[in-house]
Structure formats: C-alpha cells, structure tokens
Amino acid sequence: MTFEERLATLDALWQAWAEHGAALTDDDWRRPTRLGTWDVRALYAHHGAWPSMLAHVVTQVRDAAPTHTAASLLRALNAPGGIAHSRRDAVASGAHEDAAAYTTAQALGQFTGVGPRAIEEARTRGPVTVDYLGIGLLRLDEAVSVGIMEATVHLLDLRRALDIEPDVPHAGLAHTAALLADVAPPVAFIEAATGRAPADFFPVLS
C-alpha cells in the first residue's frame, strides 16, 4: 500500500468505528467481548486511545533512519518478556478506567474528530521518520500500518461481541493479514499455511 492508501484505509476503519458507536444501545455498550473482562465500552476506550496516539506520534518527527518496520516492532513487542506481556494488566486496567471516565460522546469523538485530524496531519507530513512512543523509530507509513492492524482486529472483536457478521473494510483485512504474515516466522508460516507443519507458533500477537 502507498502512504495515501494506508491513510485512506485507516480513515475508513475509524469511520466504521464511529458508525457502530453511534448505533449502539445502552445494552450494547455493556455487552461482553471475547477479551477477558472487557465489555464493548472498554473495547471502545482501549482502541479509542489510538487516534490520540497517532495525533501525538505525527508530531515526533526525527532526522534519523528508522530502527523498525511495523512487523519488526510488533515482533519485538510480542516476544517473551516484551511490552505486550509485561504491560498486559496495565492495559486492561487502563481500558476499564477510561471506559468509566469518558462519556459516549467523548468515546465517539476519538473517531469523528481526533482521528480524522490526525490522519490529515499525517498526510501533510508524508512518510517521515517518527519516534513511536519511545519504543523505536518508524516511518510514519509503518506506524499507520500498526494502526490499521489494531483497528481491524478490534473491529472484528466488536462485531463478534454484537453478534453480527465480521464485515470489515476489505483493505483493512488484506493489510492486516499481510502484516501478521510478516510478523510470523516465515518458514513456520509457509509450512503451516501449506499443511506441511502444525501452526504451533500462533498466536503471533498477544
């Protein structure tokens, strides 16, 4: 995907989040999800942090070579002892706290206001190198790829919680599938995908 295609894909995904949220009933917001103790409101609070995070990341331009791609960053975060494991409880607690603190309008505003503005700012910056939350240096297009993956995976979580078909923007699904394949060990992935070996390396993300 080009940089513009990635931005357009992320924008479409966040539009889907906004549309779903606007249609939710009070009971829907309290529905459980397949993510442990998170209900739908906690899921919105968790992924709703991503538009604000992108708005911050686009300001962190660095005159340096990238240290990671999206795939290598995700691989490092999900390695044994990586942040995905060490901060799992903190992330879960944060989602509950944010869900209790934010109104529905604030939760949806992340996708109708903060997100579109961050995407437009990214568009003006171009695929520059940015500091990704102090974890590594990424090209901005690679950072957007992480956002596409997060938006897609959690949109599937949302639609499953609402008992509706996993009808997610195709570009998001295709880009996420390609990114996850890149995160996986290549030999193990190829042999598992072709039925030559068990897929015992899954999941590649926590």
Return the closest-CA partner of residue 122 out of 11, 17, 13.
11
**So what's the pLDDT on residue 44?**
97
pLDDT digits over 95-141, tens only? 999 999 999 999 999 999 999 999 999 999 999 999 999 999 999 99
The reported pLDDT for the residue numbered 202 is 92
The span from the CA of 137 to the CA of 33, in Å, is 33
% of the chain surpassing 90 pLDDT: 92
Query: In the CATH hierarchy, which fold is given to the domain comprising 3-191?
Result: Four Helix Bundle (Hemerythrin (Met), subunit A) (1.20.120)
For the chain, give every domain's residue range: 3-191
pLDDT of residue 111: 98
pLDDT tens for residues 152-163? 999 999 999 999
CB-based contact 147:85 (threshold 8 Å): no
Tokens describing residue 37: 């103790």
pLDDT attached to residue 206:
76
Question: What is the residue type of 155?
Answer: L
Per-residue pLDDT tens digits for 44-88? 999 999 999 999 999 999 999 999 999 999 999 998 888 888 888
- Rounded Cα–Cα distance for residues 78 and 71 (Å): 11
CA pseudo-torsion sign 55, 60, 62, 65: negative
Please say whether the dihedral angle defined by the alpha carbons of residues 84, 68, 47 and 184, taken in this order, is positive or negative: negative
For the segment 167-197, what is each residue's pLDDT rounded down to a tens digit? 999 999 999 999 999 999 999 999 999 999 9
At 168 the pLDDT is: 94
pTM listed for this prediction: 0.96
